[in-house]
Amino acid sequence: MEIEARHEYREELASLERRALDGLDLVVASLDRTVEAVQHQDIELAELVIADDDVIDGRYLEIHQAILTLLATQAPVATDLRLIAALLHVMKNIERMGDQCVNIAKLIPIAGHDPPADEQLLGYLVAMGNAIRVQIRQAKRAFLDRNVEMARDLVREDDVIDNLNRECFQRAIEIGDEHDRREWAMTMMLVARALERIGDNAVDVGEQVAFLVTGLFREFEDASHPGEEPMPEPSSSSPS
């Protein structure tokens, strides 16, 4: 009864997933450059981040087209269909994360070559970048392993990032009366905001893992109803 069927299709689907999730590695690379550029006010590196975003956008288009072709020619259903729907979302998240890096990179020249930088505030931003890197890698691993627990754990990671974001805000308030310093701190708040959004996108990837495995889509944390019980554990055993 058990015959290995639709071999090419299965290969295609597996390769599609790999290519899509490798997009998260592209984001990590871009994020690392972005944070380094922020840390050292490196305008050239920032320009590289902006230029290289085309690679992430290209990956997005490539996966998008491959998904359309697969939908049109293979009529995927059940877990396959959920995988494809999840990958569409994940690619969009990847593309958004890349754009946030670009947003940050564009802020660096505004701050100038030699801004009145504050080491403490920069330290928070670098810590945010480190936490987000861990978060993105964890999101990828959770997706590949179909591990809902690991995906839900991204929320915990995200709380760390949100706290750092608040620390940035506090520090920016305390930064003093000097005009240039205040301007720099406000620019860094935009950087912190963009980083925080990247973290949210990583959590969104985790939500897609839960959808893929359980067939249910629920936000892990509902921003409009904070503090409410997040998505319950899947009660029944998940389909293969």
Which chain residues interact with another protein by CB under 8 A?
1-6, 9, 75-82, 215, 236, 239-240
The least distance separating another protein from the CB of residue 240, rounded to whole angstroms, comes to 6
Q: What φ, ψ does residue 236 adopt, rounded to 5°?
A: -100, 165
The least distance separating another protein from the CB of residue 212, rounded to whole angstroms, comes to 10
Helices 119-145 & 154-173, crossing angle to 10 degrees?
170
Name the residue with tokens 């925080």.
196
When the beta carbons of 224 and 236 are compared against another protein, the nearer one is 236
When the beta carbons of 60 and 211 are compared against another protein, the nearer one is 211
When the beta carbons of 35 and 83 are compared against another protein, the nearer one is 83
When the beta carbons of 4 and 177 are compared against another protein, the nearer one is 4
When the beta carbons of 1 and 223 are compared against another protein, the nearer one is 1
Print burial letters for 78-101: b (CB count within 10 Å at least 16), e (below 16).
ebbebbbbbbbbbbebbbbbbbbb
When the beta carbons of 39 and 79 are compared against another protein, the nearer one is 79
Q: What φ, ψ does residue 61 adopt, rounded to 5°?
A: -65, -40
Other C-beta atoms closer than 10 Å to the C-beta of 114 total 7
Nearest CA to 169 out of 107, 121, 127 is that of 121
Q: What is the DSSP letter of 239?
A: P
The torsion region of residue 215 among left (phi > 0), alpha (psi -120 to 50) and beta comes to left
The least distance separating another protein from the CB of residue 10, rounded to whole angstroms, comes to 8
For the chain, the first-to-last Cα distance in angstroms comes to: 18
When the beta carbons of 77 and 223 are compared against another protein, the nearer one is 77
Q: Which two tokens stand for residue 128?
A: 């945010």
The least distance separating another protein from the CB of residue 160, rounded to whole angstroms, comes to 33
The least distance separating another protein from the CB of residue 5, rounded to whole angstroms, comes to 5
Dist. CA 89–CA 143, nearest whole Å? 12
The least distance separating another protein from the CB of residue 220, rounded to whole angstroms, comes to 19
The least distance separating another protein from the CB of residue 210, rounded to whole angstroms, comes to 13
